[in-house]
């Protein structure tokens, strides 16, 4: 009797299809900045939908303000910029944050609930699960399946396993035969929506693809259980970025070993234990190695950038994207911060002008001011004048409460007494 095959969630399917090694490695789910930002966005939209559903007299603006009031302060700026009144959103016509499951043994689909916050504990071992941001029914036999994505997401919805799995589960759950699937890319305060249609044949073909991959995962897991050294092939790529097995991945370790020249056991231990593994001796040695490796990588990276500037090339990650200067690229540059601020203030008012241009005082700026002053007043220039006047300026700034001194700082190479 073998253990049930470990299945990914809808959103992890692109990685599951790309790399067989994920079938057997342990996982350590660690929230990333990107996943936290994504979760906050999803919760924000869900809350707007709920608020609109709860009171039909409530306007979108009111719902948005109420939802914003419940968000964490660090996400406010990004969420406030989203133009929720864009026609792409249509909050009133869809259900939000719908958790779905499709049973890979029986082919049946079901809705697990709404707003579960990725809690799939109610799902069975043969169920592939996931959450879709937007779900609606069209006519007698159609579906609408939509999901919000950030800047980095470029896959067409009809080619995206996450969308296709949600469509399969929903089609089976609600007895539907076709779907309009839509990716809504939110890039700052702009929204780009792309909608495609999939029919029964594509939905069924995707199910077959899932079953084939599941059979392969089972084979990989059985072989690995019988002999832990038997590992399926690794495929490195963009999909590694948020891989929960990254810490345990021998392919990544091999790459680190090749770059660092360290030994496998040591790198494996660092991946598992992080800082807890290090001693002052190994930390010092590895710090030197990392510096060497960074220098080499910098040289290689620069060569690649130079090459791509002359000869753009297509990435080998299957995304169809290129590396090089985009053909229609232009670089826009603003020249004089104060004058730019004036123009913005003229157009949009003082407050907006101040919000649009940031004046950032720096310690280097104090020194620059002193040097400019000494250049304009050469008679005051003498040995130690820069230091003396910089200290004078800092003392005045401290006195006026415009500078503060905080104990501690960043980790860096430095000298110590004794």
Interface contacts to ligand SF4, rule CB under 6 A: 15, 19, 21-22, 25, 234-236, 239-240, 243, 245-246, 249, 251-252
CB 200 within 8 A of CB 178: yes
CA distances for 392 relative to 366, 399, 405, angstroms:
10, 11, 15
Nearest residue (CB) to ligand SF4, 149 versus 252: 252
Nearest to 101 by CA among 135, 129, 72, 139: 129
Nearer to ligand SF4, 176 or 247 (CB): 247
Least distance to ligand SF4, CB of residue 2, Å: 21
Which pair of structure tokens corresponds to residue 410?
Answer: 């960043």
Closest separation in Å from C-beta 88 to ligand SF4: 31
268: which residues sit within 8 A by CB, 6+ positions away?
253
Q: Which is nearer to ligand SF4, 140 or 233 (CB)?
A: 233
What torsion, rounded to 10 degrees, do the Cα atoms 317, 318, 320, 324 define?
20
CB of residue 18 to ligand SF4, shortest distance in Å: 7
Shortest distance, position 237 Cβ to ligand SF4, whole Å: 7
Nearer to ligand SF4, 25 or 100 (CB): 25
Q: Alpha-carbon distance 88 to 98, whole Å?
A: 18
Least distance from ligand SF4 to the Cβ atom of residue 69, Å: 39
Nearer to ligand SF4, 17 or 323 (CB): 17
Minimum distance from CB of 262 to ligand SF4 (Å)?
A: 18
Of 236 and 344, nearer to ligand SF4 (C-beta) is 236
Asked if 5 and 221 touch (Cβ cutoff 8 Å), the reply is yes
Identify which of residues 315 and 402 has a Cβ nearer to ligand SF4 in the complex.
315
Tell me whether residue 21 or residue 171 sits nearer to ligand SF4 (CB atom): 21
What residues have CB less than 8 Å from 303, skipping those under 6 apart? none
Closest to ligand SF4 by CB, 96 or 243: 243
**Least distance (Å) between residue 160 CB and ligand SF4:** 17
Q: Are 150 and 33 in contact (CB under 8 A)?
A: no
Q: Which is nearer to ligand SF4, 218 or 394 (CB)?
A: 218
Nearer to ligand SF4, 110 or 239 (CB): 239
Mention every residue, 6+ apart, whose C-beta is less than 8 A from residue 113. 99, 122
Residues 6+ positions from 400 with CB-CB distance below 8 Å: none
Q: How far is the CB of 306 from ligand SF4 (least distance, A)?
A: 28
Residue 264: CB minimum distance to ligand SF4, A: 15
The distance of closest approach from Cβ of residue 250 to ligand SF4 in the complex, given in angstroms and rounded to an integer, is 8
Q: How far is the CB of 8 from ligand SF4 (least distance, A)?
A: 11
């Amino acid at each position: 009797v073998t253990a049930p095959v470990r299945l990914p969630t809808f959103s992890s399917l692109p990685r599951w299809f790309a790399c067989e090694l994920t079938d057997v490695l342990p996982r350590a789910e660690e929230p990333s900045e990107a996943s936290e930002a994504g979760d906050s966005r999803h919760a924000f939209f869900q809350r707007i939908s709920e608020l609109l559903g709860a009171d039909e007299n409530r306007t979108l603006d009111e719902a948005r303000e109420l939802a914003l009031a419940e968000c964490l302060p660090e996400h406010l700026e990004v969420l406030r910029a989203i133009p929720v009144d864009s026609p792409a959103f249509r909050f009133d016509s869809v259900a939000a944050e719908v958790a779905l499951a499709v049973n890979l043994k029986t082919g049946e689909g079901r809705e697990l609930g709404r707003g579960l916050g990725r809690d799939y504990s109610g799902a069975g071992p043969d169920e592939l699960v996931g959450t879709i941001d937007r779900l609606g029914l069209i006519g007698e036999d159609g579906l609408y399946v939509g999901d919000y994505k950030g800047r980095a997401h470029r896959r067409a919805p009809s080619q995206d396993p996450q969308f296709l799995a949600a469509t399969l589960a929903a089609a089976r759950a609600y007895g539907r035969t076709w779907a309009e699937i839509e990716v809504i890319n939110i890039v700052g305060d702009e929204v780009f929506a792309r909608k495609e249609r999939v029919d029964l044949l594509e939905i069924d073909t995707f199910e077959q693809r899932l079953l084939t991959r599941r059979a392969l995962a089972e084979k990989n897991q059985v072989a690995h259980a019988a002999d832990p050294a038997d590992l399926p092939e690794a495929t490195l790529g963009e999909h590694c970025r948020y891989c929960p097995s990254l810490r345990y991945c021998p392919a990544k370790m091999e790459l680190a070993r090749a770059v660092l020249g360290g030994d496998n056991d040591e790198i494996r231990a660092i991946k598992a234990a992080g800082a807890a593994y290090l001693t002052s001796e190994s930390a010092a040695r590895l710090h030197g190695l990392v510096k060497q490796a960074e220098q080499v990588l910098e040289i290689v990276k620069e060569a690649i950038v130079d090459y791509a500037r002359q000869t753009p090339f297509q990435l080998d990650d299957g995304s169809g994207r290129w590396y090089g200067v985009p053909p229609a690229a232009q670089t826009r540059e603003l020249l004089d911060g104060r004058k730019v601020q004036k123009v913005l203030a003229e157009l949009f008012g003082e407050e907006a002008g101040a919000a649009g241009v940031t004046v950032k005082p720096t310690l280097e700026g104090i020194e620059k001011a002193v040097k400019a002053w000494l250049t304009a007043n050469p008679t005051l220039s003498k040995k130690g004048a820069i230091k003396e006047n910089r200290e004078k300026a800092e003392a005045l700034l401290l006195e006026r409460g415009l500078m503060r001194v905080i104990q501690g700082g960043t980790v860096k190479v430095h000298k110590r007494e004794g």
